[in-house]
Structure 1
Amino acid sequence: MSIRIGTRGSALALAQTERVCRMLAERDIAVETFVITTEGDTTTGVPLHEIGGQGVFVRALDDAILRGEIDIAVHSMKDIPAARPPGLALGAVLERDSPADFLAYLGQIEDVRTVGSSSTRRCAQILRFDPSVEVKPLRGNVDTRIRKMRERQYDAIILAEAGLERLGYTLPGDRLPVDTFVPSPNQGAIAVVCREDPSLVEMLTFLDHAPTRFDVEAERAVMEEVGGGCFTPQGIYCRDGSLIGEVLALDGSRWERVEQHVETLEEARECGRDLRALAEHLIREAREALGLSS
């Protein structure tokens, strides 16, 4: 009997799934791969917050697991929303790749006037760094975004460095420092989600990287306490227990930030509660500006 693995059909999703398949094959575990189309893949003409945020990339795969059509699904962990359906388990978190954003551009950095991104966090952080640039919406897979930059629709685009590395792409540009451009929670981590079945979870244990799991679970604990989803510009990053969290105004003009060393998830939650209290006004402003109910 083989494990049925579900994945999105993008080049990046397939590369991530292939990594998990290789690791399973090394343990003589047979696999079958099934490509599943999500709403996030088919609806690309609008910002993510208008169709439900990053969770739109996950929902169809969650449903396929719960219906018994697949056994596990491979995700970029940052796409997994805080609220999860019952019956699912986080079977494994692979060792983290680069958590950083990458600013790709052609020509000279001083000539960059338009930057492509549909992430409210990336938009706010780039505007904080340089309020004079114009940030224009950009959706689509990695290849689509690169093509649009090469067509000069944008002077620069912001991508996750881990995605470029997994695809083997080398682009001109700069890695953005994580202490200034604090990444999305769980950026750079690959998650394996499965049915809440002890035997299946046990089979996946060897894939799990304990230090990465702690860091990303600490980030998720902060994210859950802060709330706001992908609608509110927020960066949360933890490495070896050193945690940074920030919430920004949509235009990057104001922000609230916490930095703390945490050793338990409860300490991370307390950090998240502190950040929520500091940033309540920014979260409310962002939701109102985007036409979302409180």
Structure 2
Amino acid sequence: MEKIIRIGTRSSELALWQANTVAHQLNHLGHETEIVKIDSQGDLDLKKPLYEMGITGVFTKNLDIALLNGTIDIAVHSMKDVPTVLPENIVQAAVLKRAGSLDVCVFKDNEDFFHQKEAVIATGSLRRKAQWLHQYPTHTIEGLRGNVNTRMQKLEDSNWNGAIFAQAGLQRVKLLPKNHVKLDWMIPAPAQGIVMITALDSNPELLEVCKEINHFETEICAHIERQFLNTLEGGCTAPIGALAFFKEERLIFKGALFSLDGKKKIEVDKLGYMVDHKDLGKKCAEDILQRGGKKLMVEMASGPKAKKILSTKQLSENQTELFDDKFGIKMSDFIAIRYNRIKPTILKSIKEHLVITSQNGVEALLHNFSPMELDFKNIYCVGRRTKRLIEKKIGKVTAVENTAEELAKTIANNKEIESVTFLCGDKRRDDLIDVLSLNAIEVDEIEVYRTILNERKFNDTFDGVLFYSPTGVQSYIADNDNKSAVAFCIGETTAEEAKKHFDNVEVAKLPSIENVIKTVNEYYK
């Protein structure tokens, strides 16, 4: 393949290791590659609105967007973190040979706690927690979140006896210490230890290239494990383990479903041949469901899982991990953004003072022009994230405030400013315009994006709903009547809209997604 293959990855140490391993294997076969780091939508050159690419539901992930948008050619993932059903037009292109599937317990002082009645073990995984409590019912489990490096540091700084990790992840970033024990009795997560490559189904030449590094036996094992998971309808709310492997040409599968407290376990152990693999995972899952698994899943769904929380925006994996373990989380994008076409003549007419109140305004500019074409004397914006995106892609920010009203007051205090250009959406910020107008500052509005409401009806009743914009509230309310829920809002403007529909409204102390999640955790403490 003559074209350079752009490999999309997140920028964590483990993700880069995986991407560079894929690059090395492709390079070895004579293909030229380039690593492209994708961590946020700000890293993407969005050539189409997200809704036109089918990015509106639970698969709104930045690597998926990058693939569909043409920013990258292939994406590299830890397979255990990828949903069992891929977005439309995205396919599994290859998997690398499994490096190892086991979990390990890294301990601080010694291994004596394995034989003691009381011990404290840390993990953020429901699967690991349930299996540990099944094996050691008197031990205490502490929550542990973050990337591999962060979790290792938390263990070091704590008074825990140990913490559970995936062996492959620690080995890949050279963090596996001598003071660890392999947990060969613990059934791993489906596809644990497997690196997965995804690509578009419309690129047959590239798919043929990826086949050159595909490991067939690992592909079969991953298929069985993920089919097992998908049939059980498991995910982050159900402790499910699955492992398939070959031994002397025989195919062995072990799978299990646990209760959240580890007291109940329904397992299956099958021995077969290669020819059996297509429906093996499905048949094993159906066997578990018939032997009490279905009842156990219902119990977990309706049991003591404290609160059901809905986010009206798809969150990243790191953001999702900030929630306390006691919550059941659902996510769905309730709004999509359509970027308007901005003519070059409009760009030239922008006055020396430019106002941008959201990341959408920045994305709209980048959708129409390359960063090299964007040169503004003064830029004023709302929000630290918007500021970071502007300074990364466009240029220096003159002033930033937490709200549009505060930004307008800051601009008004500069007596030399007579007029500004405001890049807005169809849901413009009247509070900003009102303050500027009262101070005799002319506002030239340019609508650079439009907000599309993605209405969706939920059968579930949620205890809390997270909102990040007034339009998100409007989209949710259009199809759902849930006044008893607590509305958790990113800022006062969103809260004002929520108060029209909800009796109980909570506002984050600082306007960020992370602080909205923190507000939820503190509210239900």
- If the length of structure 1 is used for normalisation, what is the TM-score? 0.89
Inter-partner Cα distance in structure 2 for 1:228 and 1:208:
27
How do 1:23-42 and structure 2 match up within 5 A? 23-37=25-39
Q: RMSD of the alignment, in Å?
A: 2.0
Contact 1:38 1:57 (C-alpha < 8 Å) held by counterparts: no
Cα drift, residue 9 of structure 1 = 1.2
* Residue of structure 1 equivalent to 2:258: 248
SS in 2 for 1:207: coil
Question: What is the aligned residue count?
Answer: 277
Counterpart AA for 2:226: R
User: Which residue pairs with 1:184 in the alignment?
Assistant: 189
Gaps of 5+ in 1: 40-54
Partner of residue 260 from structure 1, selected from 265, 270, 281: 270
Which residue of 1 is the match for residue 95 of structure 2? 93
**Alpha-carbon deviation of 1:153?**
4.6
Shift, 1:275, TM fit: 1.7
Evaluate the alpha carbon distance shift between residue 219 and residue 173 of structure 1 in structure 2; reply closer, same or farther with a 3 A threshold: same
- After superposition, the C-alpha distances for 1:225-253 in whole angstroms (9 at most, x for unaligned) are 11121210010110022111100010101
- Are residue 273 (structure 1) and residue 286 (structure 2) matched? yes
1:174 alignment counterpart: 181
Q: CA deviation at 1:277?
A: 2.7
Distance of aligned partners of 1:13 and 1:282 in 2 relative to their CA distance in 1, 3 Å threshold: same
Amino acid at match of 1:248: F
In structure 1, distance between residues paired with 2:199 and 2:188: 26
Residue in structure 2 matching 1:205, options 190, 211, 229 = 211
In the alignment, is the contact (CA less than 8 A) between 1:225 and 1:276 conserved in 2? no
Q: Kindly report which structure 2 residues correspond to 1:32-71, keeping only aligned pairs within 5 A, or say none.
A: 32-37=34-39, 59-71=61-73
Equivalences for residues 80-229 of structure 1 within 5 A: 80-111=82-113, 113-171=119-177, 172-177=179-184, 180-196=185-201, 197-229=203-235
Q: C-alpha distance in 2, partners of 1:29/1:213? A: 22
In the TM superposition, residue 145 of structure 1 has moved relative to its aligned partner by: 0.6
Q: Deviations over 1:72-111 (max 9, x none)?
A: 1111110111121110111111000110001001112224
Q: Which has the higher contact order (CA 8 A, sep 6+)?
A: 1
User: Closer, same or farther in 2 for the Cα pair 1:169/1:9, shift >3 Å?
Assistant: same
Contact (CA 8 Å) 2:20, 2:35: kept in 1 or not? no
Taking the aligned partners of 1:286 and 1:118, their CA distance within structure 2 comes to 18
SS in 1 for 2:65: helix
Letter in 2 for 1:106: K
| 1:17 maps to 2:19 | yes
1:2-32 Cα deviation digits (max 9, x unpaired):
1111111111111111111111111221112
Please report how far the alpha carbon of residue 36 of structure 1 lies from its aligned counterpart in structure 2 after TM superposition.
Answer: 1.5
Matched, 1:287 2:301: yes
For 2:78, the equivalent position in structure 1 comes to 76
Distance 2:62 2:286 in 1: 31
Between structure 1 and structure 2, the one with the greater Rg is 2
Alpha-carbon distance between aligned partners in 2 of 1:276 and 1:67, rounded to the nearest angstrom: 40
**1:47 aligns to what?**
none
When residues 131 and 220 of structure 1 are mapped into structure 2, their CA distance, relative to the original with a 3 A threshold, is same
Is residue 59–residue 87 contact of structure 2 (8 Å, CA) maintained in 1? no
Q: CA deviation at 1:139?
A: 0.7
**Structure 2: stretches of 5+ with no match in the other structure:** 42-56, 309-327, 329-459, 462-525
| Cα distance in structure 2, aligned partners of 1:154 and 1:38 | 34
Q: Say if 1:254 and 1:38 are closer, same or farther in 2 by CA, change over 3 A.
A: farther
Q: Distance in 2 between matches of 1:20 and 1:245?
A: 29
In 1, the alpha carbon distance for the partners of 2:58 and 2:76 equals 14
For the residues of structure 2 that align with 1:38 and 1:219, how far apart are their CA atoms? 30
Distance 2:158 2:113 in 1: 12
Q: What is the rounded CA distance, in whole Å, between the counterparts of 2:194 and 2:7 in structure 1?
A: 18
Between the aligned residues of both structures, percent identity stands at 31
Equivalent residue letter for 1:187: Q
Which residue does 2:320 correspond to in 1?
none
Contact 2:133-2:261 within 8 A present in 1 as well:
yes
* TM-score, reference length from structure 2: 0.51
* Residue 52 of structure 1: aligned partner: none
